Amino acid sequence: MKPANKEIVLRGIPVCPGVVIGKVYLFDSKEEFIAKYKIPEEQIPGEIARFEEALIKTRHELVGIQNKIASQVGEEHAQIFNAHLLFLEDRSVIEQVIKRLEKEKINVEYIFQQVGKKYVELFSNMEDDYLRERASDIRDFTRRVLYNLMGKKKKDLSDFEEEVIIVAYDLSPSDTAMMHKELVKGFATDVGGKTSHTAIIARSLEIPAVVGLHNVTGKIKPGARIIVDGNRGLVIIHPSKRSLSKYTIEKSKFERLTEKLAELKDLPAETIDGYRVSVSANIEMPADIPSVISHGAEGVGLYRTEFFYFNRTDLPSEEEQYTAYKKVAEEIYPNPVIIRTLDIGGDKFSHQIGIQKEMNPFLGWRAIRICLEEQEVFKQQLRAILRASAVGNVKLMYPMISSVDEVLEANKIVEEVKTSLDKSRIAYDKEIEMGAMIEIPSAAITSDIIARHVDFFSIGTNDLIQYSIAVDRVNEKVAYLYEPANPAVLRLIKSIIDNGHAENIWVGMCGEMAGDLEMTLILVGMGIDELSASSIIVPEIKKVIRSSSFKSLQMLSEKVLKCSTSYEVRKLARALLKKTAPEFVMQQNYRMPYSKDDPISNAQI
Ligand code: PEP
Ligand code: MG
């Protein structure tokens, strides 16, 4: 009898929650083997012609896919292909290939593959996450040209006829454009991060996905059974009977919960004793809006506009920005949309503005610091935001404020832009609310001063935690320290809320902490007015708030502010969560994969 395959558990980066058990569709996106052979001198013009033909054919293919994506998913997604097309039209790449062909007299496929590899390597070693991920665009583009040179048909993701979990080295936009979306139930990839294309597509399809698994493709055969646990970031290959039954139960619990939560869509986030909080969603592009609406978010609490600046060589025009902001404002109306001004820098790198490599990019030239220096870029964005405010409920927010001086300077520039719009008789909301993100400890400590010059605060805990605990938010080695329940973080947050309220402004939160359900309870107890998180988490936030009494949350927040350790804080908050909304205790475990007292995350690595 053939021995049963042993269960293998791999850990990666969870990029979309949920659990799926299914059959593997192994999508081989790895490198082709290309033979190398000499060609006679007289064959060189023919090789060049073949190369040019393959480039033209690839261009047609890419433009075709780009159009398809633009019409089906949206213009912003189609722009992902700009990197492919730029590479295709890059004369220096073409000239390198032709020069080497003439000098080395080797078949063009081989030379082109070598040139492509050089660029992939160059991009793979870039420091910036986003640029590093562009290596996969170049890899995909190289493969397409090679297939056309060899007259082969590229395998695509429309080949299957049953439900599958796609396991791949990586998924490029052109791969997923052709995919049978209804039949795809999950993703697992060797490479990738939270902002990789696979992650973005998984979230828009709302299917469980784990990326960055290193070598899942090498450990699995087509058709094998796997479990993708998008909550914990685990992939289980050849699951044992025990794992299968455990996950079958978890999966149906998760699905039942999701269905039940959908019933809350139109209900407010109000405690049983009548305390109401606004729950909104974070977005990156207009294509995220349907998910905001379908999950019952009461607006957009953070529109991250830096995504405009990625994957292109020029700056986005005022008109282009206005079109996107207007679309979001109109679709969300009468609910509010908080548009955050450019937050480039740190781990969000962009060439157009000339950001240089820095020793400490998170402490460097970024966000409002760039905008106050590059005022034309800032003004162009402000004009677009103000113009969009004429058609919707738009609010404007500055990121990375470190002192009141920056607020005053930014407010002055906004006034200048308003005056110029008045002169040109261009409409905008004269009462537009302007807020500051509080995500730097100096701003938190002086929030009583800043509160006098803005209409609201939004606490950016992703950065506030990293700066107050001195723990890099993208460094996995110190991730165990990255703990929202740290008493220092909680004290800062409480003082921001109190300082805001003392000046009669509302205080929200748009960092990930808002959707960490144990923390949600504490935050509401502290008196937070608004919480903004990923759309998918909105129903969970509503549910825990609706299951609690404000009185019990206030008591919890008072108690946790007296705790000495984050462990004590978590223990108290978890006990209350268990009492009020026990169905979420399981999910909560998932969200703390680095917690030392979490037996699930430690057991299976
Ligand atoms: C934050 O810092 O909490 C935040 C919401 O902004 P970002 O994650 O875009 O830095
Ligand atoms: Mg931030």
| Residue 605, in any domain of the structure | no
Which of 142-146, 326-330, 482-486 has maximum average pLDDT? 326-330
Same domain, 115 and 198: no
What does the pLDDT read at residue 64?
Answer: 81
* 3-class DSSP state of 275: coil
The reported pLDDT for the residue numbered 2 is 58
Which of the pair, 171 or 128, is modelled with greater confidence? 171
Higher pLDDT, 530 or 360: 530
Per-residue pLDDT at 309: 75
pLDDT at residue 352 above 70? Answer: no
H/E segment holding residue 23: strand 19-27
Check residues 351 and 370 and name the one with the higher pLDDT. Answer: 370
Q: Are residues 228 and 273 in the same domain?
A: no
Alpha carbon of 363 to ligand 2 centroid (Å)? 12
CB of 366 shorter than 6 A to ligand 1: no
54 and 200 belong to one structural domain: no
Active site residue: 16, 197, 295, 371, which one? 197
In DSSP terms, which residues pair with 532 in a beta bridge?
280
Is 174 within the bounds of a domain?
yes
What residue's CA is closest to ligand 1, atom 7?
462
Please give the Cα distance from 453 to 102 (Å, whole number): 66
CB of 284 shorter than 6 A to ligand 1: no
603 in a domain, yes or no? no
- Concerning whether 60 is annotated as a catalytic residue, the answer is no
Say yes or no: CB of residue 510 within 6 Å of ligand 1.
yes
Highest mean pLDDT among 177-186, 204-213, 343-352, 446-455: 446-455
Q: 158 pLDDT band (50/70/90 cuts)?
A: confident
DSSP string, 314-381: SPPPHHHHHHHHHHHHHHHTTSEEEEEP---BTTB--TTTTPPP-SSGGGSS-HHHHHHHSHHHHHHH
Quick one: which H or E segment has residue 469? helix 461-469
**pLDDT over threshold 50, residue 251:** yes
- Digit-coded pLDDT (tens) for 469-480: 998 876 656 777
What's the confidence (pLDDT) of residue 328?
A: 96
Same domain, 21 and 46: no
218-233 residue pLDDT tens:
899 889 999 999 877 8
User: What spacing in Å lies between the alpha carbon of 342 and ligand 2's midpoint?
Assistant: 11
Confidence band for 202, pLDDT divided at 50, 70 and 90? confident
| DSSP H or E segment with residue 235 | strand 234-237
Residue 36 lies in a domain: no
pLDDT at site 498: 98
For ligand 1, say whether the CB of 302 is within 6 Å of any of its atoms. yes
Write the CB contacts of 175 (distance below 8 Å, at least 6 apart in sequence).
Answer: 27, 29, 140, 156, 157, 168
Q: Is the pLDDT of residue 347 over 80?
A: no
Per residue in 89-119, pLDDT (tens digit) is 778 888 889 899 999 999 998 999 898 888 8
Residue that wins the pLDDT comparison between 509 and 120: 509
- Rounded CA-CA distance 153/146 in Å is 10
- The finding on whether 264 has its CB within 6 A of some atom of ligand 1 is no
Gap between the terminal Cα atoms of the chain: 30
Indicate if ligand 1 lies below 6 Å from the C-beta of 462.
yes
* Together in a domain, 225 and 321: no
| Cα-based angle 264, 268, 271 (whole degrees, multiple of 5) | 105
Q: What is the pLDDT of residue 253?
A: 82
The CATH number of the domain where 131 resides is what? 1.10.274.10
| Highest averaged pLDDT of the listed ranges 48-57, 172-181, 548-557 | 548-557
Q: What is the residue type of 317?
A: S
**Arithmetic mean of pLDDT, 207-212:** 89
Q: What burial class does residue 455 get, using C-beta atoms within 10 Å of its C-beta: 0-12 exposed, 13-18 middle, 19+ buried?
A: middle
Catalytic residue among 77, 84, 371, 510: 510
Q: pLDDT grade, residue 312 (50/70/90)?
A: low
Give the whole-number percent of the chain exceeding pLDDT 70.
Answer: 87
Task: Judge whether residue 195 has pLDDT over 90.
Answer: no
Q: How many independent structural domains does the chain possess? A: 3
- How much is the pLDDT for 601? 36
Does the pLDDT of residue 604 top 50, yes or no? no
Residue 602 maps to a domain:
no
CB–CB of 282/300 below 8 Å? yes
Q: Indicate whether 321 and 448 sit together in one domain.
A: yes
Cβ neighbors of 75 (< 8 A, separation 6 or more) are none
CATH number at residue 19: 3.50.30.10
Amino acid occupying residue 394: V
Question: Over 70: is that where the pLDDT of 322 sits?
Answer: yes
What does the pLDDT read at residue 486? 96
Least confident residue range of 147-161, 355-369, 584-598: 584-598
412: left (phi over 0), alpha (psi -120 to 50) or beta: alpha
At 194, the pLDDT band (50, 70, 90 cuts) reads: low
Q: Label the pairing between strands 19-27 and 300-304.
A: unpaired
Mean pLDDT over residues 209-226, rounded?
90
Are residues 111 and 135 located together in one domain of the fold? Answer: yes
Neighbours of 487 (CB within 10 A): 17
Average pLDDT score over residue span 303-308? 84
**pLDDT-above-90 percentage for the chain:** 49
User: Domain check: are 312 and 409 in the same one?
Assistant: yes
Task: Give which of 333, 365, 452 is closest to 404, Cα–Cα.
Answer: 452
CA-based angle 373:368:480, to the nearest 5?
135
Nearest C-alpha to atom 9 of ligand 1 is from which residue?
A: 304
pLDDT of 595 over the 80 cut: no
Question: 74 CB less than 6 Å from ligand 1?
Answer: no
- Provide the H-helix boundaries in 30-90: 44-72, 75-78, 82-89
- DSSP reduced 3-state for 170: coil
Q: Does residue 534 form part of some domain? A: yes
Identify whether 595 is part of a domain. Answer: no
pLDDT in the model for residue 333? 97
54 and 167, same domain (yes or no): no
The span from the CA of 286 to the CA of 279, in Å, is 19
- Is the Cβ atom of 461 under 6 angstroms away from ligand 1? yes
CB atoms within 10 A of CB 165: 26
β pairing state of 164-168 and 276-283 = unpaired
Its domain, for residue 230, covers: 8-28+156-259
- Report whether pLDDT(397) > 80: yes
Residue 463 CA: which ligand 1 atom is closest? Answer: 2
pLDDT band at 59 (very low <50, low <70, confident <90, very high): confident
Look at residue 596 in the predicted model and tell me its pLDDT.
Answer: 38
Report the run of H or E that residue 599 belongs to, with start and end: helix 599-603
Candidate from 98-107, 453-462, 590-599 with smallest mean pLDDT: 590-599
Domain of residue 365, CATH code: 3.20.20.60
Average pLDDT over residues 572-579: 94
**133, 150, 167: which is the final residue of a domain?**
150
CA distance linking residue 571 with residue 83, whole number of Å? 48
Which atom of ligand 1 is closest in space to residue 510's alpha carbon?
Answer: 5
The yes-or-no verdict on residue 192 having pLDDT over 90 is no
* 510 is annotated as an active-site residue: yes
Residues 361 and 491 both lie in one domain: yes
Same-domain check for residues 408 and 536: yes
Range with the poorest average pLDDT among 58-62, 211-215, 434-438, 472-476:
472-476
How much is the average pLDDT of 503-526?
95
CA–centroid distance, 261 to ligand 1, in Å, is 26
Q: Regarding predicted confidence, which is higher, 140 or 274?
A: 274
Beta bridge partners of 348: 345
Q: Dihedral of CA 598/487/278/268: which sign?
A: positive
Query: Where does the pLDDT of residue 454 fall: very low under 50, low under 70, confident under 90, or very high at 90 and above?
Result: very high
Question: Residue range 238-264: average pLDDT?
Answer: 88
Mean pLDDT in residue range 16-22? 90
CB 507 within 8 A of CB 258: no
Question: Domain boundary residue among 109, 134, 150?
Answer: 150
H/E stretch holding 8: strand 8-11
Out of 200, 231, 259, pick the residue that ends a domain: 259
Q: Which of 471, 493, 510, 523 has the most ligand 1 atoms within 8 A of CB, as the residue to mutate? A: 510
The ligand minimizing its distance to the Cα of 512 is 1
Q: Give 400 Cα–ligand 2 centroid separation in angstroms.
A: 7
Domain shared by 171 and 208, yes or no: yes
Mean pLDDT of the chain: 86
Residue 47 inside a domain? The answer is yes
Region 48-74 average pLDDT: 81
The one-letter amino acid code at 247 reads Y
